[in-house]
Every structure is written in C-alpha cells, then in structure tokens.
Structure 1
Amino acid sequence: MVRRLSDVGLGFVESAPVRLVFAADVRVPPQDVYRALAQETAQWPRWFSAVTFAGPTTRGREVHLRGGIRFMETVLAAEPSIRYAYRIDLTNAPGVTAMVEDWRIRPAGAATRVAWTMAVDGPAPLRVALRAARPGVGRSFRAAMRALDARLAATKAD
C-alpha cells in the first residue's frame, strides 16, 4: 500500500525525531560525487547495493530498494558539488510518516567527504527499529561509498 508522507522541508533534516548520520571519504573530486548522486540517477544500483532501481521523474526520482520498498522523491536542494537533498513523498515502507535524505559533499584534503543524513519520523516502534538498524545502515552506506569511489576512480582512469 502506497502512502503519502508529510510535506516536510529541509529543516526536517535537523529536527527529525530520528536522524541517522554517516560520513565517508572518497578519492574523487566533489563534482564527480555530485554528478553520481544527482545526475546519474539510473546508475545508483551499480554502486549502492540496497538500490535495485532508480530513475528520474519530473520532480525528483523513483527508487526501489531490496525487499520491495519503493519511494517517490522530490528534490529539495540541488547545489552542485555541495548538496543533494530530497523528501520522500510516497512510499510503501511501513510506519514512515516523514522522511528526508540529505547528502553533503565537501573537499577534505586530497579526498572528498560525503555525509549522508537520513531524517525520519513515524510511530515509536519505527523510531526504535531505525535506531537499532543504525549499524547495518552505516555498513551499507560505507560499502556504497567504497563502491562509488572505485567506480568513479575507474571512470577517471578511462
């Protein structure tokens, strides 16, 4: 069953009841990371193993995850080489009432620091489950950043 989530804005990234925040460094320039996140949407399944499909829509993206979860997203911020953020508008994920994901990109010496915040609201059992899932989500994020780093570095070498 697809449900419409709350129409929250960028401020929700800081005020959400559950905020899962992760960061990793990659060896490619910020503009390459931004392009992969914001412009090469269909390529996400090649480097983020949780994603089975990602495609652009007129307002954002449609994303399918392993396990059958689906999202329709609206882009809230698209600042080249700095930030890419989106709100989940429609989902079949149980319990979620509001969700925003925010990707921040910044130079970090010879690397690029990628920080991802998943901001979520829902009933208490969902909040507890998400907090308990933090280590697994973190592993998934770090694996995705390693895969993205390798993919982008290989592309640069071609």
Structure 2
Amino acid sequence: MTHRLRPVGTDFTGTAPVRLAFAGETAAAPEAVFRALAEDVPGWQQWFSAVASARPTEGGREIRLRGGIRFEESVLLAEAPEVYAYRVDATNAPGARAWVEEWRLAPSGTGTQIRMTFALDGTAPFRLLWTLARPCVGRAFQQAVTALDRRLADRGG
C-alpha cells in the first residue's frame, strides 16, 4: 500500500535521523553525469541495477525498484552541473516517513567526483534497517557509478 511521506526540503540532508553518504568517481565530465541523472530518467534502469523502471513525471519521477518498491518523487533541486536532489513523496516502503536523495557533482581532473546522500526518517525498525544496510547500499552505489561510467564512455560523454 502506498503512503504519503512528510514533505521535507534539501536541508533534510543535514538533519535527517539517518544519513548515508557515499562517494565515487567517473571519467565523464560533470555535465554528462548531470544529464544522466536529471534528464535521462528512463536511462537509470540501464546503469542502476536496483531500478526496474524510471519515468519522468510533471515535476518529478516515478521509480520502481526490483523487488516491488515504488516511489513517487519530486525534484527539489536541479542545478546543472553541481547538484540534483529529489524527495520521495509517496512509497510502498514500510516505515518510511521522510526521504531525500541528493547527488553532488564536482570536477575531478577530467572526470567527476560524485557524492550521494540518502537522508531518511521513519519508524525505529525502518531507521535500524537502513543503518544496518549501509554496506549493501554502498556497494550498490559503487556498482551504479561504475555502470554509469561505462554507459557514458560508450556514449562518448
């Protein structure tokens, strides 16, 4: 059953009860990485293995993960090529109460340093689950960055 989450802003990335932050690098320039994140929403399923489908909506995105979790999201910040952030407005993930994800991009040599933050709040079991899942989520992030890097290299950009 889908439920609405508490509407929070980008400042939630600094105040959320659970914050998971991960970093990675791509050979692609920040502009290309930003386009892949913000403009090629359907392309997410090609490089982020947890994503079964992704489609843009008016002001946001609809994401379905493998395993059946669904998200209705609103884009909070899209400042090319430095930051892309979105809030989960509704989900069928049990226990979630507030959720923001933020991608920060910075030039690194000829490539891009990516810092991704999950900012979460929910029931005590939800918070514990995400805290315990940190290593798995980190691996999934690293695999996604590697796959995105390959995808952008194959596309020449």
Secondary structure in structure 2 of the residue aligned to 1:74: strand
SS at match of 1:97: strand
Q: CA offsets per residue over residues 130-157 of structure 1, 9 Å max, x none?
A: 0100000000000000000001011107
The 4+ residue runs of structure 1 with deviation greater than 2 A are: none
Equivalent residue, structure 2, for 1:23 = 23
Question: Are 1:70 and 2:70 counterparts?
Answer: yes
Give runs of aligned pairs for residues 3-42 of structure 1, distance below 5 A: 3-42=3-42
Q: How many residues align?
A: 157
Hey, what's the Cα distance between the residues in 2 that align with 1:56 and 1:11?
Answer: 24
What CA distance in whole angstroms lies between the structure 1 residues aligned with 2:118 and 2:92? 17
Return the TM-score normalized by structure 1: 0.98
Give the letter aligned to residue 153 of structure 1.
Answer: A
Q: Once the two structures are aligned, what percentage of the paired residues are identical? A: 52
> 1:98 is matched by which residue type in structure 2?
A
1:137 aligns with 2:137: yes
Deviation at 1:62, TM superposition (A): 0.1
1:41-64 superposed Cα distances (whole Å, 9 cap, x missing partner)? 000000000000000000100000
Per-residue displacement from partner, 1:56-106 (whole Å, max 9, x unpaired)?
000100000011000000000000110000000010000000000000000
TM superposition shift of 1:110 = 2.7
Give unpaired runs (5+ residues) of structure 2.
none
1:47 maps to amino acid? W
Q: Structure 1 unaligned segments of length 5 or more: list them.
A: none
Give me the whole-angstrom Cα distance separating, in 1, the residues matched to 2:59 and 2:155: 28
Counterparts of 1:68 and 1:82, CA distance in 2: 31
TM-score (norm 2): 0.98
Pairwise CA RMSD: 0.8
Alignment-derived partner of residue 91 in structure 1: 91
